[in-house]
Amino acid sequence: MTRSLDTGPDGAPPTAPYDAIADGYAELNATSLLNEYYNRPALVELAGDVAGRRILDVGCGSGPILADLRDRGATVTGVDASAGMLDQARARLGAGADLRVADLAEPLPFDDDTFDDVIASQVLHYLKDWGPALAELHRVLKPGGRLIVSEEHPTAVFLADRLSGGDREYFGIHERTEQWTLAGRTAELTFWDRPLHAMTDAFAAAGFRIATISEPAPAPDAFDRFPEVGRRESGRFLAFLLFVLVAEPPR
C-alpha cells in the first residue's frame, strides 16, 4: 500500500491515502475473505520455514503478515507509506516492533544486502513503474535472498472489468481509480493493472529469477466462513497470483 505521498494542506506533513481509512481498513483486513482467509495464509505458507531469517514487509499495513512471520521465528521489519496503518501495526505487534514510514516509490532506509527475504503483498500495483522499486528491493536483499510477491491475478482483474461492462484489453498497463469508504471515511486509491508478461519482464529486468509461480487456493475454512461464495469442487477460485523470486548476484 505504498505510493507517492500527497502533500498536506498549508505545508502540513504529507499524508498517504490509507491514513484516512486506517482504522476501517485494519478491521476489514482482519475479517475479509480475500485478506484473512486467502492472501495472508497463502503467502505465509509459500514463505515456508522462516525461523532465523530477517524479513522486510513493504506495504505492511496493519501487520498481519509480520505477526505470522514473527510467530514462526523470523526477525521482522515493516515499512508503509501510511503512518496511520503503522499505528495499527504497532497496536498488533507491540511498541518495540521495527516499523518505519517509507514509500516504495523512493529509496528505502536500509543498507545493501540487509534482508534474507522481502514480502511485497498487494503493494506493487500502486506503482505505474515497477523498475525503481524492484531495483531497491534487489539492493536490500542478500544475494540469493527471496522476494515474495502477491498481486491480484491479472486474468481476474481483466474478467472483472469485462463483467462490469468495460472493454479494456488484457495487454498493456492500465490505470484504475477507486473510492473506498470504510468506517465513515473515504479515500481515493489508484491502481496500475498489468498483464503477466509485464510482471515477469519487470522481475527479470531487476535481476530476479522466478523460482515459483503460485495460483493458491483459499484457506480450507474459507467456504464455511463465507457460504455465500459457494463451495467450489476444486476448493479454489481465481483471485491472486504469487511469486517467489530469487535475487541473482550482479553480473
Cell of 212: 515459483
CA 24 to chain centre: 18
What are the pLDDT digits (tens) for 200-224? 999 999 999 999 999 999 998 999 8
What are the pLDDT digits (tens) for 71-98? 999 999 999 999 999 999 999 999 999 9
Please state the domain extents for the chain. Answer: 35-225+233-247
pLDDT (average), residues 5-29: 69
Residue 2's pLDDT is: 36
pLDDT (average), residues 167-194: 94
> CATH fold of 35-225+233-247, please?
Rossmann fold (3.40.50)
Query: Phi and psi of 31, rounded to 5°?
Result: -130, -10
Residue 134's pLDDT is: 98
**Distance, CA of 130 to CA of 103 (rounded, Å):** 13
**Distance, CA of 173 to CA of 101 (rounded, Å):** 28
- Given a cut of 90, whether residue 132 has pLDDT beyond it is yes
Q: At 232, is the pLDDT very low, low, confident or very high (cuts 50, 70, 90)?
A: confident
Q: At 15, is the pLDDT very low, low, confident or very high (cuts 50, 70, 90)?
A: low
What are the pLDDT digits (tens) for 33-78? 999 999 999 999 999 999 999 999 999 999 999 999 999 999 999 9
Crossing angle, helix 83-93 and helix 22-29, to 10 degrees? 50
30 or 55: which leads in pLDDT: 55
Query: Phi and psi of 204, rounded to 5°?
Result: -65, -40
Residue with cell 515474495: 148
Residue 52's pLDDT is: 98
Cell of 141: 536483499
The model's pTM is 0.92
- Given a cut of 80, whether residue 127 has pLDDT beyond it is yes
Residue 13's pLDDT is: 41
pLDDT (average), residues 20-43: 94
> CA distances (Å), 178 to each of 8, 33, 58, 153, 219, in order?
21, 19, 22, 18, 27
Q: Do the beta carbons of residue 214 and residue 42 sit within 8 Å? A: yes
Burial string for 59-97 (b: 16+ CB within 10 Å, else e) reads: bbbbbbbbbbbbebebebbbbbbbbbbbebbbeebeeeb
Q: List, in order, residues 6 or more apart from 110 with CB less than 8 Å away.
A: 56, 77, 140
Residue 228's pLDDT is: 85
- Given a cut of 60, whether residue 7 has pLDDT beyond it is no
Residue 217's pLDDT is: 92
> CA distances (Å), 98 to each of 18, 53, 110, 147, 151, in order?
20, 15, 12, 19, 25
